[in-house]
């Protein structure tokens, strides 16, 4: 089975992030972001060890800028914002946590952001793909 490179989604998300997604994300201050990540790390303890480790490694890499928008956007913030929107949906939480396992194949900020946006897209209805 060939795995799809998460960077395949870069053009779709980059073109629509500021206009379609960003306005729908909850604004979070630094304290709220840290609280979301605390919840994420606690939730990760319910999953296999590799997901727990990857979640912690991702959290520790929180100072990387994704450059997803022209002004740049922090993947750490995006992860917290998506978490806040999906945290009451058990199915979405499972998919969100699985993204940490997938991040073991590469931890670049753009790829991390794309993984969070895939969860957003799957559970919150944003459809970035054109159907012409």
Question: Would you state the structure tokens that stand for residue 61, as one six-digit string?
Answer: 């890499």
Which tops the pLDDT comparison, 129 or 97?
97
Per DSSP, the three-state class of 74 is strand
Mean pLDDT of the chain: 80
Q: Say whether pLDDT at 41 is over 80.
A: yes
Look at the pTM and tell me if it is higher than 0.75.
Answer: yes
Q: Point out which residues pair with 74 in neighbouring strands.
A: 65
Cα dist from 66 to 2, 4, 14, 48, whole Å: 26, 20, 11, 27
Q: Mind listing the pLDDT tens digit for each residue in 50-101?
A: 999 999 988 887 654 444 544 467 888 899 999 999 999 999 999 999 999 8
pLDDT the model gives residue 63: 54
At residue 74, φ and ψ (nearest 5 deg) are -80, 125
- Where do the structural domains in the chain lie, given as residue ranges? 29-124
Which tops the pLDDT comparison, 78 or 15?
78
């Amino acid at each position: 089975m060939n795995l799809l490179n998460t960077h395949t989604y870069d053009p779709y998300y980059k073109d629509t992030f500021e206009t379609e997604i960003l306005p729908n994300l909850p604004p979070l201050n630094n304290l709220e972001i840290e609280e979301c990540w605390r919840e994420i790390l606690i939730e990760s303890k319910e999953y296999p060890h590799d997901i727990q480790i990857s979640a912690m490694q991702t959290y520790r890499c929180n100072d990387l800028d994704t450059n997803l928008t022209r002004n740049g956007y922090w993947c750490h913030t995006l992860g917290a914002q998506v978490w806040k929107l999906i945290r009451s949906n058990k199915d979405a939480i499972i998919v969100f946590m699985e993204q940490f396992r997938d991040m073991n194949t590469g931890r670049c900020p753009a790829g991390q952001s794309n993984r969070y946006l895939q969860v957003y897209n799957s559970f919150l209805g944003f459809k970035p793909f054109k159907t012409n």
